[in-house]
Every structure is written in structure tokens, then in C-alpha cells.
């Protein structure tokens, strides 16, 4: 559902939006920019809320960069094996 809203922007911002998106696509551009900002804000909020959830105490096997590399190699390898099975 779409709803009209009256928003006030500095002229310089609207001019730049129009240069990039064109006057006929101004609303779409602003909607997409707003969606991106909202996603970023939700992500940052989630990071704040889950701070400390991942600790060395709970994941001792992933303390060092080498540990992470080993873990990722294993995950990627298993993924590739699954893909090969699916493709057969």
C-alpha cells in the first residue's frame, strides 16, 4: 500500500537526486535510499543487541585466524561436495 507524504528536503539534495535518478524517478530513488538506511539501522541494532554472544569461551576452536581459515575451508569443501552430488 502506498501513502503520500509531504517531506521537506534541502534544494541541493533534491537537485543531486534528480541528476542521478531523474525527476520522474525521484520518489523511487528516495524510497530505495530509505530502505537501505533502515536495513543498515536494523543491522546495527542487531549487532548491539547480540554483542558478546560469540566468545572464545563458547567457541575455543575458533580463537585464531588459522582456526577460522581451517573452519572456512571445511565448510567450503563440504559445500562443494554437496553441489557436486546435486549436479549428478
Domain contains 2: no
Domain contains 5: no
Tens digits of residue pLDDT in 15-64 = 999 999 998 999 999 999 999 999 999 999 999 999 888 788 888 888 89
C-alpha cell at 22: 531523474
Domain contains 21: yes
Domain range enclosing 31: 11-49+62-87
Cα 84 to chain centroid distance, Å, stands at 29
Domain contains 40: yes
Domain contains 55: no
- The dihedral region occupied by 52, where left means phi > 0, alpha psi between -120 and 50, and beta the remainder, is left
Number of domains in the chain: 1
What's the pTM value of the predicted model, to 2 decimals? 0.61
Domain contains 76: yes
Domain contains 42: yes
Domain contains 30: yes
Residue with cell 543531486: 16
Amino acid at each position: 500500500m502506498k501513502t503520500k507524504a509531504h517531506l521537506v528536503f534541502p534544494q541541493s539534495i533534491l537537485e543531486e537526486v534528480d541528476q542521478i535518478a531523474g525527476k520522474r524517478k525521484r520518489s523511487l530513488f528516495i524510497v530505495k535510499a530509505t530502505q537501505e538506511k533502515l536495513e543498515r539501522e536494523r543491522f546495527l541494532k542487531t549487532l548491539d543487541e547480540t554483542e558478546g554472544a560469540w566468545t572464545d569461551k563458547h567457541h575455543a576452536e575458533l580463537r585464531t585466524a588459522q582456526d577460522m581459515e581451517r573452519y572456512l575451508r571445511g565448510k567450503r569443501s563440504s559445500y562443494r561436495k554437496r553441489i557436486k552430488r546435486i549436479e549428478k
